[in-house]
């Protein structure tokens, strides 16, 4: 818009700021889980992820050695050592002996605990505890301290969730569900779309209307009858009712209206002259479809494939109903949902698992965005 360039500097600056704010709001949430998934799990709960590059301060509890470790020095009983053991990586800023006042004394000072006992805890974790009477008991003195740890980034969380939380397995399950459920509908839809676009037969207009109507039918309408059908088929043939084959067909069925709609509108737009000259040369409909229509339709096939891939990969409802919510076949989305229940506060598990579930769609999305947008523009009547 050439006319807009004459506007003041301030208003153009305002546009940049406004867009920047929108972009920030839309990216920061995702950034949050990416950063958190790479943090040390103790640091995740000790400080917000936006502080992850600064040292984090956390209040912890430790125990001094029991009475058996005491030595007698100058008439006093002394316990000495380092509270971190052999790994004094952190800096203590304050300490205390009561949980109600965990940071009562600055590090390095000698605290009078009463009853002739004193405790000194230094920044590096070394301590000296003295008493005029011998220490007693099997358990040592409880000590609280605030320590700051340098920022620590790690891929441990990924190791944990992939190999011991079952996310790796679920990742494979998701792929197993998604790839066939993306490929199978394409061919079936392409043939139907060609027939609806270029062949004349009675009832064609009605079929198109039915397919457009089915585009918006809520998935919820299908769940109960199909669940009953699957259970019936399962018990009749003595096979499990929750199978990959079942979910492939279900996703094929749910994806078909959109596939046919999208492909038909594209194939109908192909130039009539090409079809007619092929027909005059004696090509049959089958030959025209395979040799002309399919190659020319590549962009729209790609669009649909991306849609279907993202839809199936991200789906939770169909997977929960037709594959179940536990067991060997559980897909990533259902696994993540289960983890939200069982590992509710363990953010190192949740953020890492969430990032693993979204990384494949993000890669597909960024590498094939052009086709995705094209499909979106062509098929925006679909309910999703």
Partner 1 sequence: MAAQIFSAIFVIVVGVGGCVAYFWGANKLLDIIFPSRGVAGAAAIDNLRRQGMIRPWLFVGPAMIILTIYLIYPVVETLRLSFLDRSGNNFVGFANYEWAFGDREFRNAIFNNIIWLAVVPAACTFLGLIIAVLTDKIWWGTIAKSLIFLPLAISFVGASVIWKFIYEYRGAGQTQIGLLNAIIQYFGGQPQVWISLPFWNNFFLMIILIWIQTGFAMVILSSALRGIPEETLEAAVIDGANPFQIFWKIMVPQIWGTIAVVWTTITILVLKVFDIVLTMTNGQWNSQVLANLMFDWMFRGGGDFGRGATIAIIIMIAVIPIMIWNIRQANKETGGH
Contact set for partner 1, span 246-305 (CB under 8 A): 248-250, 252-254, 256-257, 260, 268, 284-286, 289
* From 99-107, 140-148, 273-281, 315-323, span contacting partner 1 (CB under 8 A): 315-323
For residue 277, give both structure tokens: 């000259």
**Choice from 191, 270, 292, 302 touching partner 1 (CB under 8 A):** 191
- Which lies closer to partner 1 via its Cβ, residue 117 or residue 285? 285
In whole angstroms, how close is the CB of 315 to partner 1 at the nearest point? 8
In whole angstroms, how close is the CB of 372 to partner 1 at the nearest point? 8
Any contact of residue 64 with partner 1 (CB under 8 A)? Answer: no
Burial of 351 (0-12, 13-18, 19+ CB in 10 A): buried
Q: How far apart are the first and last CA of the chain?
A: 34
Restricting to residues 202-231, name those near partner 1 by CB under 8 A.
Answer: 204, 207-229
**Choice from 8, 9, 29, 87 touching partner 1 (CB under 8 A):** 29
SS3 content of the chain, % helix, strand, coil (to 5): 60, 15, 25
- Which lies closer to partner 1 via its Cβ, residue 67 or residue 219? 219
**Choice from 72, 115, 201, 280 touching partner 1 (CB under 8 A):** 201
Any contact of residue 384 with partner 1 (CB under 8 A)? Answer: yes
Alpha carbons 205 and 192: distance in angstroms, whole number: 13
- Which lies closer to partner 1 via its Cβ, residue 112 or residue 286? 286
Instruction: Tell me how many degrees the CA angle 159-165-170 measures, rounded to the nearest 5.
Output: 100
- Which lies closer to partner 1 via its Cβ, residue 67 or residue 316? 316
Restricting to residues 101-120, name those near partner 1 by CB under 8 A.
Answer: none
DSSP SS3 for 315: coil
Question: Which residue is listed with tokens 């949980």?
Answer: 99
**Residue 182 backbone class (left: φ over 0; alpha: ψ -120 to 50; beta: rest):** alpha
Single out the residue of 184, 123, 128, 170 nearest to residue 308, CA to CA.
184
Restricting to residues 339-378, name those near partner 1 by CB under 8 A.
Answer: 340, 347, 350-351, 353-354, 357-358, 361-362, 364-366, 369, 373, 376-377
**Choice from 38, 47, 111, 258 touching partner 1 (CB under 8 A):** 47
Alpha carbons 82 and 128: distance in angstroms, whole number: 9
């Amino acid at each position: 818009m050439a006319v807009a360039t004459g506007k003041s500097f301030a208003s153009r600056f305002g546009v940049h700021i406004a867009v920047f704010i929108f972009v920030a709001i839309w990216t920061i949430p995702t950034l949050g889980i990416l950063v958190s998934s790479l943090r040390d799990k103790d640091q995740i709960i000790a400080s917000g992820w936006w502080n992850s590059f600064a040292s984090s301060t956390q209040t912890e509890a430790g125990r001094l050695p029991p009475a058996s470790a005491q030595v007698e020095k100058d008439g006093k009983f002394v316990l000495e050592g380092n509270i971190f053991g052999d790994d004094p990586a952190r800096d203590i800023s304050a300490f205390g002996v009561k949980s109600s006042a965990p940071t009562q004394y600055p590090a390095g000072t000698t605290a009078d605990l009463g009853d002739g006992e004193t405790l000194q805890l230094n920044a590096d974790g070394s301590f000296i505890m003295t008493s005029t009477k011998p220490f007693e008991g099997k358990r040592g003195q409880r000590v609280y301290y605030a320590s700051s740890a340098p920022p620590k980034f790690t891929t441990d969380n990924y190791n944990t969730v992939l190999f011991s939380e079952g996310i790796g397995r679920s990742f494979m399950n998701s792929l197993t569900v998604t790839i066939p459920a993306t490929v199978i509908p394409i061919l079936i839809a392409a043939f139907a779309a060609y027939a609806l676009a270029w062949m004349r037969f009675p009832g064609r207009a009605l079929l198109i209307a039915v397919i457009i109507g089915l585009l918006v039918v809520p998935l919820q309408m299908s769940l109960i009858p199909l669940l009953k059908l699957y259970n019936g088929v399962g018990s009749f043939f003595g096979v499990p009712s929750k199978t990959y084959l079942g979910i492939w067909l279900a996703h094929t069925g749910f994806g078909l209206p959109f596939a046919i709609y999208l492909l038909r509108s594209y194939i109908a737009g192909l130039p009539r002259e090409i079809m007619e000259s092929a027909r005059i040369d004696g090509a049959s409909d089958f030959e025209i479809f395979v040799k002309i229509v399919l190659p020319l339709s590549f962009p729209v096939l790609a669009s649909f494939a991306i849609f279907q891939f993202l839809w199936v990969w991200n789906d939770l409802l169909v997977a929960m109903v037709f594959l179940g919510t536990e067991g060997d076949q559980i897909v990533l989305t259902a696994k993540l949902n289960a983890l939200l229940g069982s590992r509710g506060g363990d953010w190192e598990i949740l953020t890492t698992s969430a990032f693993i579930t979204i990384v494949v769609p993000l890669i597909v999305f960024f590498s094939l965005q052009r086709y995705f947008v094209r499909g979106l523009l062509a098929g925006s009547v679909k309910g999703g």
